[in-house]
Structure 1
Amino acid sequence: MPAINVNPTRMELTRLKGRLKTAVRGHKLLKDKRDELMKQFLDVVRENRALRKKVEDALMEAYGSFTVASALMSGEMLEQSLLYPKQSVELDMSFQNIMSVNVPVYHFKTKSEDPGEVYPYGFATTSGELDDAVDSMASVFQDMLKLAEIEKTSQLLAEEIEKTRRRVNALEYVKIPQMQEAIKYISMKLDENERATTIRLMKVKDMLLKEAIEERQEETRRAIEASGGHLGQAEEI
């Protein structure tokens, strides 16, 4: 018996063959999608690895400059220098479709194009190390935003790869084998029924032939008996 309940009819056989054809085609498309997603994912991972190293190195440099600046300046003066930023940032987000996966794309823009606006303090009371730290943070900010975009993209692609992989496995190891088994079962049942019908027809034919032969023999016997009676009457005359 197959794993799924089916009626062994020709209509069900035709329906299952159509479903099997669709499932095989869908399985191939999903495998192609999974392979392309893996290719895109590996490209994103490589880009993420290189960009993360760049961001980490830039942040280490910025933190080092801040550490030196905090050692040369008092805590109150450092806090007051960075309390009121002059520059503002506008962030827009759109989406890009990668193999039916909508991944975010961030667009970064500062309010002012003047690079000097990044320093929210006067240069008379601050150290040069603080300038280096602020400049390093300003330069790495866009890379950090790009890194966030790439990491979110890799996360979404990984989730889609996992879903696609489960669907491919479900079709390959469950659905398609079940339908193939059901088609085989129905075909065997139909062949068995056809053989049984053929045997019944042959038996009916044999019975009809036997009855016809017996009727012919009976008619011959009656004809002989009738002929014998007429001959007897003729002899008596």
Structure 2
Amino acid sequence: MNIALIGYGKMGHEIEKIAISRGHNIVSIIDVNNPEDFESAAFKSADVAIEFSTPDSAINNYRRSFAANVPVVAGTTGWLDHMDEVKKACAEEGKTFFYASNYSLGVNIFFTLNRYLAKIMNNYPSYDIRMEETHHIHKLDAPSGTAITLAEGIIENVERKENWNLETEEKESDIAIHCIREGEVPGIHEIIYESEVDTISIKHDSKNRKGLALGAVLAAEFTNGKKGFLGMKDMLNF
């Protein structure tokens, strides 16, 4: 399979290594210094583009990929106010887009566990709910896309919670998400249920970027030849 990389930071390098090890060809690499390559024959020859860039550049990367008729596997978070535009392109223009807030298999198991625990805890209002997430100092968005997905999973299943809020719980119906940026931490997410008598928590701690990179390559393999808006639930069939 021919793969284009959009964004060539630490994740881009890790994805490149895994893609090559799985027999794929990297036909184009686009970073901040060569955006004109979206117009190149090499980029247009890609079966799929894997994109890990920045929140500010993401939506324009998707537009330019769609213009070149190259399907996208998107790993950037912090751009979701443009999601309706992307979904419309998939529904009305036949574009292909795979989005996940986190491509790690372990994190997606954690998403499922989070929703299951939330269904149980819906029946126990004596427990308040909060979250903590820690990432490296280079991460530009807060809270992380993974934290938002976790919060949405709780809100869908716990009737007493309606919104998430950064750092503070302004109302009882809010879930406070505390964000820490330090060192080179790949990602730690913890859900905490606390009452007057005890605490219940679940936690996922990423050791490195390899799980994310492998998941992105697997998503590219899954996306190849498909149309529409896709996600990890489609690929993993949880």
Question: What TM-score bracket applies, with the shorter chain setting the length?
Answer: under 0.3
The TM-score with structure 1 as length reference comes to 0.23
The structure, 1 or 2, with the larger RCO (C-alpha pairs under 8 Å, 6+ apart) is 1
> Which one has a bigger Cα radius of gyration?
1
Q: Normalising by the residue count of structure 2, what TM-score does the alignment of the two structures yield?
A: 0.23
**Higher relative strand content:** 2
The structure that is helix-richer by fraction is: 1
